[in-house]
A = this chain, B = another copy of it.
Amino acid sequence: MHLINKAGLEKVHNSIKPFIHRTPVLTSQLLNEICEAELFFKCENFQKMGAFKMRGATSAILNLTKEQQKKGVVTHSSGNFAQALSLAAKSFGAKAYIAMPKNAPQVKKEAVLGYDGIITECESNAVAREKAAKEIQQKTGATFVHPSNDDDVIYGQGTAAIELLEDYQDLDYIFTPVGGGGLLAGTILAAINFSEKCKVIAGEPANADDAYRSLISGKIELNETTNTIADGLRTNLGDRNFPIIKEYVERIVLVEEDEIIEAMKLIWERMKIIVEPSSAVAFAALIKHKNNIKGKKIGLILSGGNIDVSNLPF
């Protein structure tokens, strides 16, 4: 059981507020009709740097001592967390060292550099990334911040759901995607502490179904394939977030690639907003599960909007 309580989460939320946006919640009559429920979309695609990861990165850096901040932070990520940590560090005048696979897209490297992140290239496998991060840590004295398996990061990610529950107190469910587990675990902690009844359901790509299998086996399983368009969800759960997920998640709904793309197109066309495939995974799960949640009030965390608009799956 996780030991943070409502007051603890409120403290985290208050501490990061000056550094993040309170993102808007959008609704769509047409999507309500399609899902036969009342949906509330928490738009983390409008968050700073375009994703909820800004919340957890800020929370982590705020919990460092001044001395630690001076030496900087280090992480391994090729995605949104690399950008988030770089931008969050910049706000505090701290350095962010990013271990990034050689073959990461140029656009992602440029995004990190744009936020003054310092990139160290490495091979693309997990072992090489962790080794590179370790070496940077030893050389610079920077503090390692894991993108999803870190308590402060988890609490930070939970603040999106806190805001959603402040705005709509009687939600029956919140849907999130699950990748590394930080957003899902944080959302669960928020739901437990800020609602009497709200349950949390996660969507996961069938092609990267480690969390689904972990729930069944009761221990952290690794991905066997990561062949999914939802590039933010190819990672595995960790020992800090899995216990929370295991105990409290209502269900994990697996979705196929065509369902992810279809859900993404629906959001783009009907809501006129840009969300990345990982966000669409949560909505695809909601659509797939809709017969079980008819007439309910449902929050959905649109996790981010960072996508190459020149290279779409439709």
Contact = CB atoms under 8 A, between A and B. Distances in A.
Number of chain A interface residues as a range: 10 to 19
A24 interface: yes
A126 interface: no
Contact of A312 (B45, B271, B309): B309
A272 interface: yes
B272 A46 contact: yes
A240 to B, nearest CB: 30
Interface in A259-312: 265, 268-269, 271-275, 305, 309-310, 312
A50 interface: yes
A12 to B, nearest CB: 24
A40 to B, nearest CB: 15
Contacts of A274: 268, 272-274
Contact of A268 (B26, B309, B314): B309
A299 B300 CA distance: 31
A272 B45 contact: yes
Number of copies: 2
Contacts of A309: 265, 268-269, 312, 314
Contacts of A24: 24
A310 B314 CA distance: 5
Contacts of A275: 272
Interface string A33-74: 000000000000110001000000000000000000000000
Nearest to A265: B309
Nearest to A310: B314
A119 to B, nearest CB: 21
Contacts of A50: 272
Interface of A: 24, 26, 45-46, 50, 265, 268-269, 271-275, 305, 309-310, 312, 314
22 contacts: A24-B24, A26-B46, A45-B272, A46-B271, A46-B272, A50-B272, A265-B309, A268-B274, A268-B309, A269-B309, A272-B273, A272-B274, A272-B275, A272-B305, A273-B273, A273-B274, A274-B274, A309-B312, A309-B314, A310-B312, A310-B314, A312-B312
